[in-house]
Amino acid sequence: MSLLDYFKTKKNTSTAATAKERLQIIVAHQRGERDAPDYFPQMKQEIIDVIRKYVKVGADQVSVQLDQNDDNLSVLELNVTLPDQG
């Protein structure tokens, strides 16, 4: 190993792949929010607040998504990961 090899930066491809994947997720999430109505963030928060009245869940355990079809039809999808009752 020469002295110059010591100063060369070693690139980790798995780190780059992970960063690329995370960026793709963020971009897809922002694209989904771009087409959402103005009231959607407030409605999402109110739904989470109602669920929290009855079950202790974190914000990361509740997913609310609005999908719009070509037929001018909107679908509100709600996924909640409930804690174990055991």
> Which 8-state DSSP code applies to residue 58?
-
pLDDT (tens digit, 9 = 90+) per residue, 21-41?
878 777 766 665 566 677 778
**Structure token digits, residue 20:** 């690329």
Q: Where are the alpha helices (DSSP H) in 1-86?
A: 3-7, 13-34, 40-54
pLDDT for 2 equals: 60
Name the residue type at position 63: S
**Structure token digits, residue 30:** 């922002």
Q: How many CB atoms lie within 10 A of CB 44?
A: 20
pTM, 2 dp:
0.47
Return d(Cα 59, Cα 57) in angstroms, integer.
7
pLDDT (tens digit, 9 = 90+) per residue, 42-66?
888 888 888 889 888 887 888 888 7
